[in-house]
Amino acid sequence: MAARGESAFRAKQVVEWIYGKRVQDFADMTNLKPALREALAGEFRLDPVLPTNQQGSSDTTRKFLFKLARDGRYIETVLIPASPGLYGDQADRLTLCVSSQVGCAFDCKFCASGLAGLTRNLDAGEIVGQVIEAERIAQDRVDNIVFMGMGEPLANFANLTKAITIINAHWGIGIGARHITVSTSGLAPQIEKLADFEVPVRLAISLHGASDEVRERIMPVNRKYPLDRLFEALRYWSTRKKQKITFEFILIEGVNDSLEQAELLARRSRPLGAKVNLIPYNTVEGLPWKRPSVGRQEAFFRVLQGHGIPCTLRREKGHDIAAACGQLRLKQETAEGIVEAPVKA
């Protein structure tokens, strides 16, 4: 608006139409001059993500498949009802798991999102658009945002932080910083950058291995940023931010579910005061991993408890979205011939 020579007052009006009144068409911005409405409509769009498919119902986890208006690619966004073990501390809260990229370059071995590699970053409008569309479909306000969908959010730092600014702002979506969680596979330098970012978001680390040897098997990113380097960044985070760090740990049979891993995990978590979320692995089509038995999951959990580590073990089926994320989009893009059916080595 400044570049067009329009006043700050006019800019505020546009912002109010977009985030306050949530109009979907510039023509509805009735307090703007028709010429300005037309000019804006010619240059911008208000529907960066288009709902195309949905799984689940209003009282369960709902997965939305959104088509990107810009290039027809697909992303997934997941709306999760109250879950005390997840990010909402209270019941009756809605959590939205948003995507930050189309595909992902990091190739974590348990994840469907990385199966076809990275296509592109989402822009800030496409990230915020997921929140606006989900709220429109649910006809309710989202309470928590987790950047845990497709993509590595910290590999798209500029758009991520721009989107967070809008999601957090009182003039934007208005979600408090404590209700926004960025989840990363462990990009150490970007964690340090995020620690210096002004919005005090929460941080979750996809850890999934408590020694380099085990973590490397599952997460190739560990070769670039081994655990010592990652934990150096986490210590820096702790000096800059008050919120506790969360470690996500997907339990995979015979890979990372030994009691020795549990001991190591406890030892790493304690100095940071970190919380651990244990997530029994959810089968992904085309991937070889299995979920450990309930007995084994609980033994792992008890080791952490024994060390006084705040810890949850997710039992509900519908909430195991982290590992399942990306499957819907892959099916759609494979069906349309946008990507070839991926083969995992």
Asked if 238 and 272 count as a contact pair (C-beta separation under 8 A), the reply is yes
Asked if 238 and 266 count as a contact pair (C-beta separation under 8 A), the reply is no
Q: Which of 284, 283, 325, 333 is nearest to 100 (CA)?
A: 325
Q: Does 297 bind ligand SF4 (CB under 6 A)?
A: no
Catalytic residue among 126, 248, 325, 333: 325
Q: Which contacts of 130-133 are long-range, i.e. CB under 8 A and separated by 24 or more positions?
A: 130/49, 130/64, 130/66, 130/75, 130/77, 130/96, 130/98, 130/99, 131/96, 131/98, 131/167, 131/173, 131/175, 132/19, 132/22, 132/173, 133/49, 133/51, 133/64, 133/66, 133/77
Position 208, amino acid: H
Dihedrals φ, ψ of 266, to 5°? -60, -45
- By CB under 6 A, name the one of 88, 125, 129, 151 that touches ligand SF4: 151
User: Cα separation of 88 and 27, whole Å?
Assistant: 38
Q: Choose one: 71-79, 126-134, 150-158, 233-241; the region binding ligand SF4 (CB under 6 A).
A: 150-158
Site residues (CB under 6 A) for ligand SF4, limited to 184-223: 185, 206
Q: Does 83 bind ligand SF4 (CB under 6 A)?
A: no
Neighbours of 34 (CB within 10 A): 11
Closest approach, Cβ 185 to ligand SF4, in A, equals 4
Closest approach, Cβ 219 to ligand SF4, in A, equals 7
Residues in Cβ contact with 333 at an 8 Å cutoff, skipping those fewer than 6 apart: 73, 74, 116, 339
Q: Choose one: 29-37, 54-62, 71-79, 144-152; the region binding ligand SF4 (CB under 6 A).
A: 144-152
- Sign of the Cα torsion 23, 25, 28, 29 reads positive
- C-beta closer to ligand SF4: residue 13 or 161: 161
- Sign of the Cα torsion 167, 171, 174, 176 reads positive
- C-beta closer to ligand SF4: residue 114 or 125: 114
- C-beta closer to ligand SF4: residue 107 or 232: 107
- C-beta closer to ligand SF4: residue 29 or 203: 203
- Helix (H) or strand (E) run with residue 106 in it: none
Closest approach, Cβ 99 to ligand SF4, in A, equals 8
Q: Does 107 bind ligand SF4 (CB under 6 A)?
A: yes
Closest approach, Cβ 180 to ligand SF4, in A, equals 17
Count of residues that interact with ligand SF4, criterion CB under 6 A: 12
Residues in Cβ contact with 89 at an 8 Å cutoff, skipping those fewer than 6 apart: none
Question: DSSP readout, 278-309?
Answer: EEE----TT----PPPHHHHHHHHHHHHHTT-
Closest approach, Cβ 159 to ligand SF4, in A, equals 16
Q: Choose one: 15-23, 145-153, 237-245, 251-259; the region binding ligand SF4 (CB under 6 A).
A: 145-153
Q: Could you give the string, one character per residue 9-48, with x where binding to ligand SF4 holds by CB under 6 A and - elsewhere?
A: ----------------------------------------
- By CB under 6 A, name the one of 13, 61, 83, 113 that touches ligand SF4: 113
Active site residue 311: no
Q: Choose one: 31-39, 108-116, 160-168, 260-268; the region binding ligand SF4 (CB under 6 A).
A: 108-116
Active site residue 135: no
Catalytic residue among 76, 133, 248, 333: 76
- Just list the catalytic residues: 76, 325
Site residues (vs ligand SF4, CB under 6 A): 104, 106-108, 111, 113-114, 150-152, 185, 206
